[in-house]
Amino acid sequence: MKIKMPRWFYQLASPKWFYDITGMLLPWFGLAAILLLLVGSIWGLVFAPADYQQGNSFRIIYIHVPSSILAQSCYMMMAIAGAVGLIWKMKIAHVVAGACAPIGASIAVMSLATGAVWGKPTWGAWWVWDARLTAMLVLLFLYIGVIALNSAFENKASSDKATAILSLVGLVNIPIIKYSVEWWNTLHQPATFTVTEKPAMPPEMWIPLLVMVLGFYCFFAVVLMIRARIEVLEREKRSDWVKKVIENYGR
Amino acid sequence: MTPKRQKRLSVILGLVFGTAVIVGLVMFSLSENINLFYSTSQIAKGEAPVGARIRAGGMVVENSVERSKDSLKVIFELTDCEEEVTVEFTGILPDLFREGQGIIAQGVMDNKGLFQADEVLAKHDENYMPPEAAESMKDKMGNCEAMKGKQEKAE
């Protein structure tokens, strides 16, 4: 059996091509992120109606849910990029995976912190050793482990390999986070949004939330591209094209 | 994909599925310990240990909350729509505590069959709506019917 990968997939492996294309995309994603986050947060925090039960404290959902979703997506991206790097020996994939870890860790901290702030007024506790909350904490520790492992080696090739394997092993945590609220009795409520059913929330509440989620993804893309571009320059510093980029930079 | 890459791909898939199976089995065998609370029917049937600190989860029965006049003591019935457990608690209840609300109480089952709670946490569900919408929905069904309806839908 022979699987043929599309052309852009191999183009992506070229550091110069990656550097150029991300340089082109970066301003657009930046603009989209600023617009979406601005519109989403004002809409969600000011104009969306308050909840019948939780009042205004439910509004933290507009930060908590996007950051929780993104922390998990970022992990999946890191693991998949790591797998691509292992299978095709593609350096760019490892660069992207390495850039994901610190971003994901900060977003996971954000998700846990906003969750605690939300938990105090509604549940009556900052933290409970509930399956969902604990699995999310494990995700944060996985990110920290990946970051630590990534900087533990002198040799880039071995640190790339080790972190890719660790992030692939940790991938098992993602479905646990998602289904924890269904498999076990938890204090955390089940998902409001599912693929099969309509949301348990009126549109005037979920549209700003959707805007925020998109804004978070764009913001993630921006930070990821910035970090990956710097790492590419660092790794390719001996090549001619990087020398040219640096020469042009001063002008 | 070259044969070498396909081999590496299958090794990686094996690694991911292998860990998933191992973690799955561990989780399955630990599932009793991962549950945050016992339901009131589990307690009524005697599945929960007596004398040990446990958590009980359920809904506060309508018109069952009795507040003491001279202290912070509260007594209320907790139900999962099958069995009821009486809970005694002294302290400040969370804002969301009300009749018909899901809560989780941490404490000890005493030998009189009374659950002595030292912590009460309010549980809220995944439904959000503006106050006006909630008002119009409120009278249509009680909480137990709503919960049963949801379970049937899920099954």
Cβ distance B134 to A53 less than 8 Å, yes or no, reads yes
pLDDT band at B39 (very low <50, low <70, confident <90, very high): confident
Place of tokens 């900087």: A151
DSSP label at residue A52: T
Residues in chain B within 8 Å Cβ distance of A61:
128
Q: Give CA torsion, residues B100, B103, B107, B111, to 10 deg.
A: 30
Cβ distance A183 to B31 less than 8 Å, yes or no, reads yes
If you average pLDDT over every residue of chain B, what do you get? Answer: 80
Please give the pLDDT value at position B140: 45
Tell me if A178 sits within 8 A of A120, measured CB to CB: no
Q: Which of B126, B135, B147 to mutate to test the interface with A (most CBs of A within 10 A)?
A: B126
Chain B contact for A47, CB < 8 A? no
Please give the pLDDT value at position B50: 79
Cβ distance B128 to A58 less than 8 Å, yes or no, reads yes
Residue A250 has pLDDT above 60, yes or no: yes
pLDDT band at A214 (very low <50, low <70, confident <90, very high): very high
Minimum CA–CA partner of A194 in chain B: B126
The residues spanned by each domain of chain B are: 38-125
The average pLDDT across A53-81 equals 93
Please give the pLDDT value at position A45: 92
Residues in chain B within 8 Å Cβ distance of A54:
96, 124, 128
The average pLDDT across A191-199 equals 79
Cβ distance B9 to A52 less than 8 Å, yes or no, reads no
Burial class (CB in 10 A: 0-12, 13-18, 19+), B154: exposed
Cβ distance B31 to A121 less than 8 Å, yes or no, reads no
Q: What is the pLDDT of residues A6-15, one digit of tens each?
A: 887 877 778 8
Q: In whole angstroms, what is the distance from residue B123 CA to residue B102 CA?
A: 5
A182's CB contacts (< 8 A; 6+ apart) are A190
Q: Which of A123, A130, A137, A180 to mutate to test the interface with B (most CBs of B within 10 A)?
A: A123
The least confident of A2-11, A27-36, A212-221 is A2-11
Q: Which of A139, A11, A88, A146 is nearest to B5 (CA)?
A: A88
Count CB-CB contacts under 10 A for residue A238: 7
Place of tokens 């340089």: A23
Q: In whole angstroms, what is the distance from residue A139 CA to residue A134 CA?
A: 9
Q: What is the pLDDT of residues A146-190, one digit of tens each?
A: 999 998 988 888 999 999 999 999 999 999 999 888 888 888 888
Q: In whole angstroms, what is the distance from residue A136 CA to residue A187 CA?
A: 14
The contacts found for A147-155 with CB under 8 angstroms, 24 or more apart, are A147/A101, A147/A102, A147/A105, A150/A98, A150/A101
Tell me if B130 sits within 8 A of B111, measured CB to CB: no
Q: Which of A3, A122, A172 sits opposite B124 (nearest CB)?
A: A122
H or E, element range at A168: helix A156-170
Residues in chain B within 8 Å Cβ distance of A203:
none
Chain B contact for A203, CB < 8 A? no
Q: Which of B8, B126, B131 sits opposite A87 (nearest CB)?
A: B8
Residues in chain A within 8 Å Cβ distance of B123:
123, 187, 189
What is the Rg, in whole angstroms, of the alpha carbon atoms belonging to chain B? Answer: 22
Report the top-level CATH class of B38-125. mainly beta
Cβ distance A190 to B126 less than 8 Å, yes or no, reads yes
A:100-139 residues touching chain B, CB 8 A cutoff: 121-125, 128-131
Minimum CA–CA partner of B126 in chain A: A192
Backbone CA torsion sign across B132, B137, B139, B144: negative
Q: Which of A186, A189, A104 is nearest to A138 (CA)?
A: A104
Higher confidence at residue B94 or residue A148?
Answer: A148
Please give the pLDDT value at position B33: 73
pLDDT band at A55 (very low <50, low <70, confident <90, very high): confident
Q: In whole angstroms, what is the distance from residue A162 CA to residue A142 CA?
A: 13
Higher confidence at residue B62 or residue A66?
Answer: A66
Residue B62 has pLDDT above 50, yes or no: yes
pTM for the model = 0.86
Residue B136 has pLDDT above 70, yes or no: no
Q: In whole angstroms, what is the distance from residue A69 CA to residue A35 CA?
A: 20
Distance from CA of A67 to the nearest CA of B (A): 18
Q: Give CA torsion, residues A33, A36, A38, A43, to 10 deg.
A: -160
Q: What is the pLDDT of residues A93-144, one digit of tens each?
A: 999 999 999 999 999 999 999 999 999 888 888 998 888 999 999 999 999 9
A64's CB contacts (< 8 A; 6+ apart) are A111, A114, A115, A118
Residue B154 has pLDDT above 50, yes or no: no
Minimum CA–CA partner of A84 in chain B: B9
If you average pLDDT over every residue of chain A, what do you get? Answer: 90
Find how far residue A129's CA is from the centre of its chain: 24
Q: In whole angstroms, what is the distance from residue B118 CA to residue A145 CA?
A: 37
